[in-house]
């Protein structure tokens, strides 16, 4: 089987740094992942772990200066986006790859109608006239479940609620049937019922038009709901990467496990104190030496402070960036309680 032809997006060793007066912020510092056609990749991590910067790097919407993609490759259908001219990139943006953002309240332009903003996208990338584009825009609004779309098309963003605006955003992003949709925390700003509706909608449209989705979130529930594969990001790096079942049932990285332990469960019958992850997300200006998580990790050994663990395959394409699974370094961990629970399933 020729696997590479399956890859829609392939990100290799991406490094996006911000050069500021205070120093260099390594927001994304060597990220690798692939998205196959029709796949949904969940990217999870705390604020500041580099999720959004990764997405903006793919779109090449990093503000430069101070931001700069210092190395790596972003292959979209086999072609490196970083080698394309701005004009070529603009033909891909909003057409083959489109993006929806976290803040529906501020992501739409307040002085143009939503119809105008959706039509703008259609007119830019498709050879249609205005009447046809308007018809398509109304069709998109209907698709995303906005009632009486033929009237709503002439509404301004301030006339819509947050959930409706996010639907309009989705309609705009999907208006040219992109092959890849990057959703940067699309439901974070919405309340829970609207959140569920939007996720349901995205799942439905995804199957209808067969696009791939990169779903960025800090909400594990969202990832469990929609993702096929999951990337766990920490300190500008991928620390765990596997299919969604493995990541949820068989999390290996101490950070991923700590994330789970900090979520309350419906099945908690006894009173349980919620676990927290001590310390703070590292400042991208001063990332620690060695493993980026070592200063918050309860399994950390001296080796973690000096050396950066590689991504290790623990079987079934389940990748983990931790020395616990390292052939030679793992001996440092033998005496630690609880390590067996992490390792036994391997």
Partner 1 sequence: MFNYIVRRILQAIPILLVVLTLVFLVVRVLPGDPAVAALGDYASKDAVLALQERMGLNDPLWLQYVRFLGNLLTGDMGTSLVTGYSVGKQVVQALPYTLTLTISAILFGYIFGVPLGISAAVHRNSFIDYFNRIFSLVGLSVPAFYLGVLLMYFFSIRLRLFPVVGAGDPGDLGSLLHHLFLPALSLGLIMTAYVTRMTRSSLLEILREDYIRTAKSKGLAGRVVLYKHALRNALIPIVTLGGLYAVVLIGSSVMVEIVFSRPGLGKMMVGAIQQRDYTTLQSVMALYTVFVVVINLLTDLIYGLIDPRIKYD
Distance in Å from the first CA to the final CA of the chain = 26
**Interface pick for partner 1 out of 17, 125, 152, 301 (rule CB under 8 A):** 125
- Residue 187 interacts with partner 1 (CB under 8 A)? no
For residue 8, count other CB atoms closer than 10 A to its CB: 22
- Please tell me the distance from the alpha carbon of residue 74 to that of residue 81, in angstroms, as a whole number: 6
Reported in sequence order, the residue ranges of the chain that DSSP labels E, i.e. its strands, are 7-20, 23-36, 40-44, 67-76, 79-80, 97-100, 180-184, 212-217, 229-234, 237-243, 312-313, 319-320
Within residues 61-80, the interface with partner 1 by CB under 8 A covers 61
**Cα atoms found within 13 Å of the Cα of residue 152, Cβ hemisphere only:** 23
Of 53 and 238, nearer to partner 1 (C-beta) is: 53
Cis upstream peptide for 60 (omega within 30°): no
- Residue 107 interacts with partner 1 (CB under 8 A)? yes
**Interface pick for partner 1 out of 4, 106, 161, 306 (rule CB under 8 A):** 106
**Interface pick for partner 1 out of 110, 192, 193, 334 (rule CB under 8 A):** 110
- Residue 99 interacts with partner 1 (CB under 8 A)? yes
Of 153 and 291, nearer to partner 1 (C-beta) is: 153
Query: Cβ 156 to partner 1, closest distance in Å?
Result: 5
Q: Which segment (42-50, 119-127, 286-294, 331-339) binds partner 1 by CB under 8 A?
A: 119-127
Query: Cβ 127 to partner 1, closest distance in Å?
Result: 15
Q: What are phi and psi of 160, to 5 degrees?
A: -110, 155
| Helical (H) or strand (E) element with 209 | helix 192-209
Of 27 and 59, nearer to partner 1 (C-beta) is: 59
Return the structure tokens found at 38: 């029709």
- Please tell me the distance from the alpha carbon of residue 13 to that of residue 82, in angstroms, as a whole number: 13
Within residues 272-311, the interface with partner 1 by CB under 8 A covers none
Considering just the CA atoms, what is the radius of gyration of the chain in Å?
Answer: 21
Return the structure tokens found at 164: 């409706």
Q: Which segment (97-105, 271-279, 297-305, 323-331) binds partner 1 by CB under 8 A?
A: 97-105
- Residue 169 interacts with partner 1 (CB under 8 A)? yes
- Residue 18 interacts with partner 1 (CB under 8 A)? no
**Interface pick for partner 1 out of 21, 47, 85, 111 (rule CB under 8 A):** 111
- Residue 95 interacts with partner 1 (CB under 8 A)? yes
DSSP 8-state assignment for residue 103? -
Question: Where along the sequence are the contacts to partner 1 (CB under 8 A)?
Answer: 59, 61, 89-95, 98-99, 101, 103, 106-113, 120-121, 124-125, 156, 158, 169, 172
């Amino acid at each position: 089987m020729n696997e590479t032809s399956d890859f829609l997006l392939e990100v290799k060793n991406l490094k996006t740094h911000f050069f500021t007066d205070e120093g260099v912020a390594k927001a994304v510092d060597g990220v690798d992942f692939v998205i196959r056609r029709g796949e949904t990749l969940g990217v999870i991590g705390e604020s500041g772990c580099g999720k959004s910067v990764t997405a903006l790097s793919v779109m090449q919407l990093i503000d430069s200066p101070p931001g700069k993609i210092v190395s790596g490759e972003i292959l979209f259908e086999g072609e490196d986006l970083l080698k394309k001219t701005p004009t070529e990139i603009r033909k891909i943006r909003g057409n083959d790859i489109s993006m929806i953002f976290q803040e529906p309240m501020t992501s739409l332009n307040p002085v143009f109608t939503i119809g105008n903003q959706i039509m703008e996208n259609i007119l830019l990338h498709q050879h249609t006239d205005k009447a046809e584009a308007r018809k398509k825009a109304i069709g998109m609004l209907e698709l995303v479940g906005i009632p009486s779309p033929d009237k709503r098309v002439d509404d301004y963003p301030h006339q819509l609620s947050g959930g409706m605006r996010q639907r309009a955003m989705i309609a705009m992003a999907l208006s040219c049937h992109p092959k890849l949709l990057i959703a940067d925390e699309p439901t974070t700003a919405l309340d829970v019922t609207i959140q569920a509706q939007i996720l349901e909608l995205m799942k439905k449209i995804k199957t209808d038009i067969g696009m791939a989705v990169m779903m960025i979130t800090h909400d594990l529930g969202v990832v469990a709901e929609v993702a096929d594969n999951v990337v766990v990001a920490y300190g500008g790096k991928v620390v765990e990467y596997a299919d969604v079942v493995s990541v949820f049932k068989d999390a290996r990285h101490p950070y991923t496990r700590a994330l789970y332990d900090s979520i309350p469960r419906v099945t908690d019958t006894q009173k349980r104190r919620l676990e927290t992850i001590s310390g703070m997300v590292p400042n991208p200006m001063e990332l620690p030496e060695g493993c980026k998580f070592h200063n918050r990790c309860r399994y950390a050994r001296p080796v973690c402070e000096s050396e950066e663990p590689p991504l290790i395959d623990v079987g079934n394409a389940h990748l983990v960036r931790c020395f616990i699974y390292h052939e030679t370094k793992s001996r440092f961990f033998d005496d630690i309680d609880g390590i067996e629970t992490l390792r036994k399933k391997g």
